[in-house]
Structure 1
Amino acid sequence: MGGNHTQIEFVLLGIIESLCGQTTLFVFFLFIYVVTLVGNVGIITLVRVSPSLHNPMYFFLTHFAFTDICYSTVISPRMLADLLSEDKTISFSGCMIQFLTFAFFVTIECHLLAMMAYDRHVAICQPLLYVTIISSRVCWQLVASSYLFAFLSAIVYTWCTFGGSFCGPNRIDHFFCDEVPVLKLLCSDTHSSEMVFFAFVTINVVGTSVVILLSYISIICTVLRMCSAQSRARAFYTCTSHLMAVSIFFGTGFFMYLQPSSSHRSLDKVASIFYTMVTPMLNPFIYSLRNKEVKGALLKCGRRFFNHWQHKKVLSSRTCTDLVK
């Protein structure tokens, strides 16, 4: 990367130009961001305080919720500030760091979804070996390897996106520094960078998608061989929340990054809003409302809190009575 890049400033054009519309969007996206933080922090806290959720599936889920918080935070606060500000400039280093951290956490999420699918595969297809195959040590090794590979991938993505020469317009037609709108500003040839970028996206997105697909093919084959209809229904039910999260995340991911740059159009902003803001907000609801174990743990925590509150209330009333006497 050239030394003159440190002097470059970009202008994020955002979602819309109307000032009235920007105020409305600010309120709407602020609500989404707050719900995202509360929902995902709630999932992490619930798993930590509920012994019934101390198993590999929910270990992966806590990291999944953490990455949702992180990559949403990389995008949302800056976008919210821009919606209320006339000055939408961002430095070259700020733009690059935003893209690097976003790519890092999104790549981790791809790998975590694949791990969660593999976990369901082992739980349903090899239940007697589940504790041995998906041990605590294996869980930490899988998560650590996903963080490492995501970091290396994010560096490659960032080099491909920001490694060329910027000598023309500096207006990014987007609400954050993403690969497609930034590459449009490069003066140098971007073909080789796009090919490397596409190759790494293919490894991460298509590779993890294949793991998920093979896991669910194996799950379906195993479930269909089950004699009991109740067992089949229970096995499918445990997978529905994960399948919903996979469909939403990978659907928008394929739309955004696995199509030629010439095919990108105005719908890209809508898709970007969906996977950067809406999806992280929906995931806690998907995993809580569609999961009996999570709902059960939530009810237990609610009862525990209520009983504790009632106990304190009784003690407080007794203390007041004693003081009166």
Structure 2
Amino acid sequence: MDTFALVVTITVALGFTYTNGFHDSANAIATSVSTRALTPRAALAMAAVMNLAGAFLGQGVAHTVSKGLIETPTGDKGMGILFAALLGAIVWNLVTWYFGLPSSSSHALFGGMVGAALAGGTDVIWTGVLEKIIIPMFLSPVVGLLAGYLVMCAIMWMFRKANPHKAKRGFRIAQTVSAAGMALGHGLQDAQKTMGIVVMALVIGDVQSADAPIPVWVKIACAVMLSLGTYAGGWRIMRTLGRKIIELDPPQGFAAETTGASIMFVTAFLFKAPISTTHVITSAIMGVGATKRVNAVRWGVAKNIILGWFITMPAAALVAAASYYVVRLFFG
């Protein structure tokens, strides 16, 4: 195995983590920034630290990514497949970031893996894709929508007699905690996804066995790159989530973030399912907004976001498949 190919692939994987940071971490803090609970710089700094911490909380999601979606390819061809998968995900991330569309970096990565594997003749573990990716892709927005609605209804009932101005000030402070929970959950979910890719690259390169624990340096590298990407910011997506779906106030922001963080922790620890931060927080915002009145949510924007969800996996798969035919000229 060419060591250069291994180094290049790991470098590109860390590059994907960086784009994930400025792409998806914007989702985690958009509500706090839009309600002015946190300044943009403070929110980004807090999210960077919490993403770093979240990366060390578990490794179940990493094992799902490295072992449960495609059969580990071998040799130079296998490294080419992994490189093409990452390239497909990065290209789609950059396209959706440019247009301010909060698509899922996770599903871009999974689509890239499936597309590159099919192009390279590697078996796809379809049961794993269905159970860990497709089903959660449909269920997590539904759960986020309903849970966001119910959490907001509960808050409205509990604080129905409170002074509105005092309540908003209190929830603005509380949003510091809920935003930190979102960022921690994002680190728990998304840093592990890249850990799984790096581990797969190490296995392909015969550096370690598939059953070996994740090296500490892999955890640190993935966590640091995610944090750096987070601090670089994702202002376009932040505007879409924070203001274009619905004008959020602090209680609504707190409800959406609490809902999103709870779902991410449950799925990571109980089901080891790599769900999308984007799907969860976007649907939670919609559910929270619907408590105000159904037409308070700008469903036209929501429709475009949902369309992006369904396009992401096949689009990234096509880019990755096309990339593979170019990459194989170099990887063999």
TM-score under structure 1 normalisation? 0.28
Higher CA-based Rg? 1
Higher relative contact order (CA 8 A, sep 6+): 2
